[in-house]
Structure 1
Amino acid sequence: MKAYLFPGQGSQFVGMGKDLYKNSHLAKKLFQLSNEVLGFKITSIMFEGSIDTLKNTKYTQLSIYIYSVIKAKISKNFKPDMVAGHSLGELSALAAINVFSFEDGLKLVNERASIMQNICELTSGGMAVVFGLKDSVIEYVCKKDHGIIVPSNYNSPEQLVISGEIQALRRVCSYLKKIGAKKILTLPVHGAFHSPIMEPAQKKFQKIVNKIDFKDSKYPIYQNVTALPVKKSNEIKNNIVKQLTAPVKWKQSIKNMMDHGAILFTEIGPGNILQGLIKKISRNFA
């Protein structure tokens, strides 16, 4: 069975989509539609903007969504048996399989990114990847800290991302190094995504989601919040809202997809970050 995966933030690059724009009439049409819906030239930022501009949460999320969905829409081979998206990638996956329209997805991503960016500016948060410790150990250390700090991305058996207040993040990272973490990398983000700090964003996003027309999915989508296959529109809507404060259960999702028959995993988006994670997960569960 074929599984298609859609990446989140971190896979962007300057020039992304320019080749699609030049070589596909449908891609060009969708890029131009993106500019019209958003009211500004996102294509200029994607094709020739600076990497610093592209790193801005708002532009990053829009660019990855647009690139990923267009790539799926113009592909003659996009015939999934199941799909999944990492964080933001979940919205790309839903648009690709027509749970909502490309335009509605643009509005969702635009509002989601703006809301999250606003929370980042009002709070002091960060994220870090921890390598070489068991999930249970990291979970316990986070729980024992008196600040807001939680596991946020279960990416692979070798790495778990934690997210929270800057001071709590520093304390927990320092302690995890002392007890045997092989490596800890602070992520280049200015917010504590997938943590309780995002609760105000979640409430605002709920109102926006309620205005969008969602359809039941033809294909199971393994959502981040539960790692389980979902097809019903109401459940899908609830899960993408919960995702803002809940951890991304990526390795659990991939494991469940494998258990349900997925053999070929194809990444649809810029870069190949998810392919690297798949190799690590498959080795662990083989």
Structure 2
Amino acid sequence: MSRARLLLLCPGQGDQHTDMFSLARTSDAASDLLDQLAVRADGDIFANRNAQPLIVAATLGMWEAIRDFAPSPALVAGYSIGELSAYGVAGAITPAQGIALAAQRAQLMDACQQAAPGQALLSITGITLANAEALATAHGFHISIETGEDTCIVGGPAAQTEALQQAIEASGARSRRLPVEVASHTTYMQSAVTPFEDALRATPFQPMQAPVLAGVDATTVEDKPRAIDTLSRQLAEKIRWLGCMDAAAEAGITVALELGPGAALSRMLQNRHPHIATRSVADFRTLDGIRKWLDRATED
């Protein structure tokens, strides 16, 4: 019996595109599921209210397309909205529940943005997390996601963006403003936490088929109370993605597959832990290509 341990990665926003369902739809089962979910990649696919349900639908549609030939995952991890997708992959919630929760999550976050307009997200590269946090705090920003030892995303007031970017450049680091107007995973989203917690509590959960890594503390979650706590808290607390990647390695993960769209998570994991065989479904043209790679990667 193979000793391979599979991690499934569920992406966040940023890499969605109009053909994001095409590969999954080559599976009849996935195509039927996507028809039932009635989510379409048209209109403004980067608007928060559209993007979050789209990402969840694409991820769970892809899982439906490959689940019959993929090994059972030892662990599932999701980045931002991808953490909600992860609970669908783990069997705790249905795809329809995932879409409904994603829509509620987006609506609650948009309400926070409307209550405090003028928010921005920046990526910072080439400076330690401690120094990045000090610069961010001095300009009213907060770390939103820790993506590496010298890379992170920060959220804060758009009016201070230029001043912060100048300070980052003066420190010898680099920054880029992201096309997002919601300072997710910061205190700007605090008023969304309790309503989303209530929405999760009202959602029936099934027994989890695999543990999910919590973004807020990189620990494994295996029951509904912890899922409610960590999924709601992550709206207003930073995501420790660096810690999640390290936790996966410590758990003995040998193979990782990102369910798409995009390949940002697989690239980060490959750079951080090159001993883990890592790919994204976005690397493949066919489902059979994914199957063959999984067969090779999970051989004992």
Same fold (TM over 0.5): yes
Counterpart code for 2:72: K
Does residue 1:142 correspond to 2:145, yes or no? no
Name the residue aligned to 1:133: 127
Aligned to 1:38: none
Match for residue 155 of structure 2 among 163, 170, 185:
163
**Compared with structure 1, are the counterparts of its residues 19 and 267 closer, same or farther at alpha carbon in structure 2 (3 Å cutoff)?**
closer
Output the amino acid matched with 2:108. I
Match for residue 39 of structure 1? none
* Shift in CA distance, 159/192, structure 1 to aligned 2, threshold 3 Å: same
2:184 is the alignment partner of 1:200: no
> Counterparts in 2 of 1:98-137, with a 5 A limit?
98-122=91-115, 123-137=117-131
Partner of 1:15: 19
**C-alpha distance in 2 between matches for 1:241 and 1:185:** 28
Asked if structure 2 preserves the Cα contact closer than 8 Å seen for 1:7 and 1:85, the reply is: yes
Question: Aligned partners of 1:170 and 1:193: how far apart in 2?
Answer: 19
Q: Report the counterpart of residue 285 of structure 2 in structure 1.
A: none
Runs of 5+ consecutive residues of structure 1 not aligned to the other structure: 36-41
1:253 to 244, 250, 254: 244
Distance in structure 1 (CA, Å) of the matches to 2:24 and 2:275: 36
C-alpha distance in 2, partners of 1:169/1:32?
A: 41
- Matches for 1:228-267 after TM superposition, within 5 Å: 228-267=219-258
Are 1:100 and 1:215, in contact at CA under 8 Å, matched by a contact in 2?
A: yes
- Amino acid in structure 2 at the alignment position of 1:11: D
Describe the superposition over 1:136-155 as per-residue Cα deviations: whole angstroms up to 9, x where unpaired. Answer: 1112223344x3x1111111
Deviation at 1:26, TM superposition (A): 1.4
Aligned residue for 2:143?
Answer: 151
Q: Which residue of 1 aligns with 2:259?
A: 268
Aligned to 1:172: 164
Instruction: Name the aligned partner's letter for residue 88 of structure 1.
Output: I
| CA distance in structure 1 between the partners assigned to 2:159 and 2:272 by the alignment | 31
* Secondary structure in structure 1 of the residue aligned to 2:143: strand
- Kept in 2: contact 1:129–1:184 (CA 8 A): yes
Which residue of structure 2 lines up, in the alignment, with residue 70 of structure 1?
61
| Partner amino acid, structure 1, of 2:237 | A
Once residues 206 and 23 of structure 2 are traced to their aligned partners in structure 1, the CA distance between those partners, rounded to angstroms, is: 31
CA distance in 1: counterparts of 2:24 and 2:268, whole angstroms: 26
Q: Which residue of 1 aligns with 2:286?
A: none
Pairing of 1:73-92 with structure 2 (within 5 A): 73-75=64-66, 76-92=69-85
* Amino acid across the alignment from 1:139: E
One-letter amino acid of the structure 1 residue matched with residue 80 of structure 2: S
What's the CA shift string for 1:89-115, capped at 9, x where partnerless?
011111011111211111100111122
Confirm whether residue 32 of structure 1 aligns to residue 35 of structure 2.
Answer: yes
Partners of 1:187 and 1:118 lie apart in 2 by: 20
In 1, distance between residues paired with 2:127 and 2:13? 24
Q: Post-superposition shift, 1:24?
A: 2.2
Give the secondary structure class of the aligned counterpart of 1:162.
Answer: strand
| CA RMSD across the alignment | 1.9
TM-score (norm. length: structure 1): 0.88
Question: Which stretches of structure 1, 4 residues or more, deviate above 4 A after TM superposition?
Answer: none
Instruction: Please give the alpha-carbon distance, in whole angstroms, between the structure 1 residues aligned to 2:71 and 2:47.
Output: 30
**How much does 1:283 deviate?**
5.8
Give the whole-Å Cα distance in 2 for the aligned partners of 1:202 and 1:169: 26
Q: Distance in 2 between matches of 1:138 and 1:18?
A: 39
Deviation at 1:216?
A: 4.3
Paired with 2:63 and 2:10, the residues of 1 have a C-alpha distance of: 10
Higher helix share: 1
Contact 1:95–1:102, Cα closer than 8 Å, also in 2 = yes
Look up the SS of the partner of 1:17 in the other structure: coil
Counterpart amino acid of 1:264?
Answer: V
**C-alpha separation between the residues in 1 aligned to 2:71 and 2:274?**
26
